[in-house]
Amino acid sequence: MILDGKGLAARRLELLKEDILEEKLSPTLATVIVGDDPASHMYVRMKHRACEQVGINSVNVTLPADTTTKTVLDRIRQLNEDPDIDGILVQLPLPEGIDTESVIASINPEKDVDGFHPLNMGRLMTGLPGPRPCTPKGIMTLLSEYNIPTSGKRAVIVGRSVDVGRPIGLLLLHADATVTICHSKTENLAEITRQADILVSAAGRAGIITADMVKPGESVIDVGTNQVNGKLCGDVSFSEVEKIAGAITPVPGGVGPMTIASLMENTADIARNRCVHFM
Ligand SMILES: Nc1nc2c(c(=O)[nH]1)N[C@@H](CN(C=O)c1ccc(C(=O)N[C@@H](CCC(=O)O)C(=O)O)cc1)CN2
């Protein structure tokens, strides 16, 4: 079964649009992008397009690649203090030389639509309500909408990044999965991934997950967005793994669109001032 993130995200955006209208919400999202990485600019454009689609106002702050950390912090302080701004996100990665941790920590945690602020990461860790990082949240939505059970199941995550690997591990743990997080130093990776009921690959390496690493029936979630010869592809060797997996996300059209849908949901939730997303 192909897990159609593109279709599901489109349906969720439609529902959100109706909710925003009905509740007479008028949320405003501010995006901050530093430098000229083409992929980052494309993702920010996609976010603004989604805002327009669902009725969220949006403003963008673009800063040149040679901007100092202090200038970024000053700009975020202004957004924090602006009562018209509900949500703030800083598009990652930031150019080398900018202190990413200080920048993220400077966002008002109550406006942190990405859920990356250390306070919100702590809320995630403890299971307290708060905005959840968008890609992990989107994966949990996909699993639940396709009725893929997590409770008591073995989840294996490949990649321990702060924005995807670790938070999806925590969300799956809160959903009663038995979680293993693998990384570049993991020995016998294939042996571990073959034990999974749910395999999430967020390694950022094209084709790292091959058919011999997947057991029949496994659900395979591909978070990779790798460019190979100018073509977008995931971490999973899709054509061979598709034949073995019980469920699999494509790239494009899987996790990516769910990331954007989750961002819209987080922005609306923050505007409602009720972050109720326990997952
Ligand atoms: N501040 C953030 N920075 C980054 C995040 C994030 O959640 N917050 N995640 C990624 C990039 N990202 C959103 O920012 C993102 C990546 C991919 C997609 C997506 O829909 N991709 C499409 C394909 C698009 C294409 O044609 O290339 C798909 O997979 O179908 C959306 C958002 C890193 N930075």
CATH of residue 165: 3.40.50.720
Q: Give the strand pairing for 231-233 and 226-228.
A: antiparallel
Helical H runs in 23-133?
38-54, 69-81, 100-106, 118-126
Q: Is 101 in the same domain as 145?
A: no
Q: Identify the pLDDT of residue 69.
A: 98
Cβ–ligand 1 distance for 260 under 6 Å, the answer yes
Q: Is 93 in the same domain as 43?
A: yes
Instruction: Please tell me whether 259 is known to bind a ligand.
Output: no
In this structure, what token pair is assigned to residue 103?
């920048």
Q: Is 178 in the same domain as 92?
A: no
Cβ–ligand 1 distance for 250 under 6 Å, the answer no
At 36, the pLDDT band (50, 70, 90 cuts) reads very high
Looking up residue 51, the CATH number of its domain turns out to be 3.40.50.10860
Cβ–ligand 1 distance for 162 under 6 Å, the answer no
In this structure, what token pair is assigned to residue 119?
């306070």
For tokens 């571990």, the residue is: 192
Closest to 89 in 3D by CA, of 28, 8, 5: 28
Per the domain annotation, does 62 fall within a domain?
A: yes
Instruction: Please tell me whether 49 is known to bind a ligand.
Output: no
Choosing from 43, 79, 265 the residue with most ligand 1 atoms within 8 A of its CB, the one to mutate for a pocket test is 43
Q: Is 154 in the same domain as 241?
A: yes
Question: Could you identify the atom of ligand 1 that is nearest to the CA of residue 263?
Answer: 7
Q: Is 166 in the same domain as 244?
A: yes
Q: Is 141 in the same domain as 187?
A: yes
Q: Is 139 in the same domain as 249?
A: yes
Cβ–ligand 1 distance for 92 under 6 Å, the answer yes
pTM of the entire predicted model: 0.97
Per the domain annotation, does 153 fall within a domain?
A: yes
CB 139 within 8 A of CB 179: no
Give the number of other Cβ atoms within 10 Å of residue 34's Cβ. 25
Per the domain annotation, does 58 fall within a domain?
A: yes
Q: Is 62 in the same domain as 96?
A: yes
Give the residue numbers annotated as catalytic, written as ranges.
Answer: 47, 91, 114
Q: Is 142 in the same domain as 102?
A: no
How far apart CA 168 and CA 179 sit, in angstroms, is 10
Cβ–ligand 1 distance for 251 under 6 Å, the answer yes
Question: 152 alpha carbon to ligand 1 midpoint, in Å?
Answer: 30
Mean pLDDT of 34-39: 96
CB 265 within 8 A of CB 16: yes
Question: 224 alpha carbon to ligand 1 midpoint, in Å?
Answer: 10
Per the domain annotation, does 265 fall within a domain?
A: no
How far apart CA 270 and CA 27 sit, in angstroms, is 8
28-34, strands of its sheet edge to edge: 57-63, 28-34, 87-90
Q: What is the tally of structural domains in the chain?
A: 2
Q: Is 153 in the same domain as 72?
A: no
**Which 8-state DSSP code applies to residue 29?**
E
pLDDT greater than 70 at residue 276: no
Q: Identify the pLDDT of residue 264.
A: 98
Per the domain annotation, does 156 fall within a domain?
A: yes
Per the domain annotation, does 222 fall within a domain?
A: yes
- The protein residue whose alpha carbon is closest to atom 23 in ligand 1 is 252
In this structure, what token pair is assigned to residue 75?
């700009």
Instruction: Please tell me whether 225 is known to bind a ligand.
Output: yes
**C-alpha count within 13 angstroms, C-beta hemisphere, residue 81:** 6
pLDDT greater than 80 at residue 279: no
At 278, the pLDDT band (50, 70, 90 cuts) reads very low
Q: Is 145 in the same domain as 251?
A: yes
pLDDT greater than 50 at residue 90: yes
Q: Is 100 in the same domain as 207?
A: no
Q: Which domain holds residue 29?
A: 23-110
- Which residue(s) pair with 232 in the sheet? 227
Q: Identify the pLDDT of residue 129.
A: 96
Per the domain annotation, does 11 fall within a domain?
A: no
pLDDT greater than 90 at residue 221: yes
**Which 8-state DSSP code applies to residue 94?**
P
Per the domain annotation, does 7 fall within a domain?
A: no
